[in-house]
Amino acid sequence: MAIVGGGLAGFTSYVTLLHGGIPAEDITVFGTSLDPAAAWRVRAASIRQQHMRSESDGHCFPTSFPGLAVHAARQAGVVPLIASVCNRYRPTVAEFLEHVEELGDRTGWAGRIRLDWVDRITASDGGFVVDRHGLFQHVLLAPGPAGLAVPDELAGDPRVVHAYQPHEFADRVAIVGAGMAAATEWLNALAAGSRVVSIRRREPERRQLNVPREMFSRRGLAGFQAADPVSRAASLRKLLGPSYPPGRGWDEPLARAAREGRFRVAHEVDGEPQVVCATGFRQGFVHNPLLRRLVAEHDLPTHDRWIELATDSTIPALTDGSRTLALAGAPAQWAYPAADTLVGAKYSARRFLQRVRSCPTP
Amino acid sequence: MSYTLRGRIESRLFATLVVLLGVCAVAAALPAFWPLELVALMLVVGVVMDTLLYSAIEYQPGWYALPLGALELVLTMGLARVLGIDPPFATALAVYGGAWLAAQALAQAGFPLFSLSYAENGGELGRAGAIAGAASLAVLASAGGLAWAKQPPTVHLSAGIHQGPLVITRRETLVGDRGAVVRGGIVIRANHVTVRNVAVVGGQNGIDVEHVHGVVLDHVSVVGAALDGIHVRLAQVMVKGCTVSSPAGYTQGIDISFAMGMGESMIEGCTISGGREGIVTHSASVTVMGNRVSATSLRGIAMTEMSMGMIESNQVTGSQGIGILCVDQSECMISRNQVSGTRSNQASGDLGQKGYGIESNFLATAELSRNELYGNAHRVGTFSGGTVSYG
């Protein structure tokens, strides 16, 4: 079987498959770096992220327990465990990256990677042809984000830098966006002494995780997955709107800066010398050449910017009792709205594992 | 975690199955069925709460388990009381606590390890959940059936006078109808006998219990026994709500002796009047709680000959000689008692009989706290190496 994508979603899927009893030699991973956190590491550093947004379940282990809080407890005593029970434990970025490195070493990740870019997946008898690498019976596509998003009206503007690219702050800075990255950048810029204008089209939701908690389980998913495609797409657009966590740690610096005249909200850029676009990634399968070609060549049904998926993240038209094609990461949001999280990657991987197990080996 | 209703119930049933396996062992060791009854009540309370209340909780962080567990504890113990299960409080609390901890360990660690998608599935366990649920109910039903089958036969003693001595040699529950009287005493020679609402008149000993355990004397009354109202030797009993009236002479209300290896006995809520000694223990482990003892001619309550136990919340009034005595290397915790009107026994010439409310004698150790002593010839006395400490 093959995992196409060597980022965190691919890595988490690989670890999950190993845990499920799939021999490492049966798994081929196609990626562009030996470090599964290579891209994520740059983005986190760019926005000067200190802690993970998710609580202790945001890790790459195949089981949700023991998580990073349990590991932290080995050194710090029961405090991380108590914090975890109260949803107050958020590992540092450094801890998370160390965990990825250790897990990679332990699972022989580097030995399973083929450093190559995959442009094309073609359905064939008994499986899928992955570019020039031959036939694989089961394929999990975890292609990662399809590039950084910049609003059309700012494209090519020399003042613009994306939040996920390394940058410093000018004296006056406009920060476009209202999600977690934008909120982090507001505080970063204020801490650097800048005057900040928050450019936003709509007010962000305030919640701890990027979708409501019940959407991580069948409690919220059942209704979402049972909805007709139009309603489902509308739900997804709403669920995936900008949000950042509630709390004084966010509100107090902003309120103080607003009183000092250093922070305000506006609807458009107005002559600021620097524009930071904290606008995430380009959304939708059309921005990913691999997925776009897959859809076109196999005439796959799509809705809005998503490929239609079964609830187990597989592509129904290309999955049957003898082969599996599934998505993981952001492209799998049609099945699981939080698919672009580590928990979401595990959702896809666990169901992929079930498919693989129930499928006869040719 | 965001549970579905089905997930909550399946998780609860699975955890109950694990708990049941442990509780069956506890029930067999005691032996008693109340642990199983308690677990059944916990399950009922839990499922009702899952359905009516918890299903409205969209997301449940781990710490919710504490207040919800406390709420279920109160409801479970209250329901147990209403249904008359009446388990020993501390042990019941330990059983509940163990079950709660086991359930938490499963929810936080066991289930996520056992089922990778446990959280995503809202706590639903699929086929395993259904099997575990069926197994839990089957174990409970089997235990209930066994408990029913092992219930001792109940014998009703009709109103009127029955000539004794009445000798009980099998496990049974003897229930007296209103006005049922046994003349000449009851002799118990079988384990797990319960005697309830029976009056005894006369006999050498009113009720004689020897070489058995698990005997319950519930609201019995004894009048005019020649020696002991209730006479216990090498046995373990629970005596509650009894009434004993002893004639003058060398008589005792309740005497539990030579039972140190038989487990703890208990005397609770009895009213005892007259006789030389009201309640006395020799070489036994006994809790004496909430009794009223009056008008004894030697001692009201006495723990002797290396006995151990608590003497708590009793009223001892109008004793001659000693109100409460701890003697002969016994270890007594004496607390919250009211002792009043203890008179000196001038005729005995014994210094220890000079009307002490509480006395520790001959290497005994008495720990006293919050006792009320008034109108006694002397308050507290120690003799022959007996010691008293105040907690």
Pair (A143, A286) in one structural domain: yes
Q: What is the pLDDT of residue A361?
A: 63
Yes or no, beta carbons of A222 and B4 under 8 Å apart: yes
Do the Cβ atoms of B338 and B315 come closer than 8 Å? yes
What percent of chain A lies above the pLDDT cut of 70? Answer: 99
Q: Considering the domain boundaries, does residue A223 fall inside one?
A: no
Contact B116 A350 (CB under 8 A): yes
Beta carbons of A65 and B113 less than 8 Å apart? yes
Is the CB of residue A63 less than 8 Å away from at least one CB of chain B? yes
pLDDT score at B146: 82
Residues A141, A11 share a domain: yes
A220 part of a folded domain: no
Cβ-defined contact of B122 to A218 (cutoff 8 Å): yes
**Chain B contacts of A19, Cβ < 8 Å?**
116
Q: Which residue of A84, A217, A353 is in closest CB contact with B121?
A: A217
Q: Tell me which chain B residue has its CA closest to the CA of residue A16.
A: B116
Residue B136 pLDDT level (bands cut at 50, 70, 90): confident
Indicate the pLDDT class of residue A56, thresholds 50, 70 and 90: low
Q: Are B322 and B359 in contact (CB under 8 A)?
A: yes
User: Hey, what amino acid is at A80?
Assistant: P
Percent of chain A with pLDDT over 90: 86
User: B250 and B337: one domain?
Assistant: yes
Q: Does the CB of A66 have a partner CB in chain B at under 8 Å?
A: yes
Does residue A292 contact residue A159 with C-beta atoms inside 8 Å?
Answer: no
Residues B238 and B291 in one domain: yes
pTM above 0.95, yes or no: no
Q: Are B114 and B124 in contact (CB under 8 A)?
A: no
Task: Report the C-alpha gap between B334 and B318 in whole angstroms.
Answer: 18
**B348: CB partners within 8 A, 6+ apart:** B321
pLDDT in tens, B96-117: 999 999 999 999 999 999 888 9
* Residue B102, domain extent: 5-150
- When pLDDT is cut at 50, 70 and 90, the band that residue A188 belongs to is very high
User: Looking at the 3D structure of chain B, how many domains does it have?
Assistant: 2
Q: How many degrees, rounded to 5, is the angle at CA A161 between CA A155 and CA A167?
A: 170
Q: Does A223 touch chain B (CB under 8 A)?
A: no
Instruction: Please indicate if any CB of chain A lies within 8 Å of the CB of B56.
Output: no
CATH number at residue A168: 3.50.50.60
- Identify whether A228 is part of a domain: no
Residues A177, A96, single domain; the answer is no
- Side by side, the strands of the sheet bearing B166-168 are B166-168, B186-188, B207-210, B228-233, B252-257, B277-282, B299-304, B322-327, B356-361, B378-383
Specify the range with the lowest mean pLDDT, choosing from A26-30, A204-208, B130-134, B220-224.
B130-134
Domain extent at residue A265: 152-204+242-277
Query: Do B204 and B318 reside in the same domain of the chain?
Result: yes
* pLDDT value at residue B347: 87
Q: Are residues A175 and A302 in the same domain?
A: no
Identify the weakest region by mean pLDDT among A35-44, A166-175, B146-155, B293-302. B146-155
Helices (H), B230-376: none
Contact between chains at B2 and A217 (C-beta distance less than 8 A): yes
B186 in the same domain as B327: yes
B146-157: pLDDT as tens digits: 878 877 899 999
Cβ-based contacts of B59 with chain A (< 8 Å): 213-214
Q: Distance between CA atoms of A2 and A118, rounded to whole angstroms?
A: 11
Of B98, B120, B150, the residue at which a domain comes to its end is B150
pLDDT bracket for residue B133 (50, 70, 90): confident
- Choosing from B130, B150, B170, the residue where a domain stops is B150
Hey, are the CB atoms on A219 and B3 less than 8 Å from each other?
yes
Residue B390 pLDDT exceeds 80: yes
Residue range B301-305: mean pLDDT, rounded: 97
Is B109 touching A (CB cutoff 8 A)?
A: yes
B1: pLDDT confidence band, cut at 50, 70 and 90? Answer: confident
The C-alpha of A47 sits at a distance from chain B's nearest C-alpha, in angstroms, of 29
Q: Is residue A235 part of a domain?
A: no
Residue A17 lies in a domain: yes
Q: Domain ends where: A227, A261, A277?
A: A277
Q: How many domains would you assign to chain A? A: 2
Q: What whole-number distance in Å separates Cα of residue A99 and Cα of residue A86? A: 22
Find chain A residues with C-beta within 8 A of B58's C-beta. Answer: 212-214, 219-220
Contact A85 B1 (CB under 8 A): no
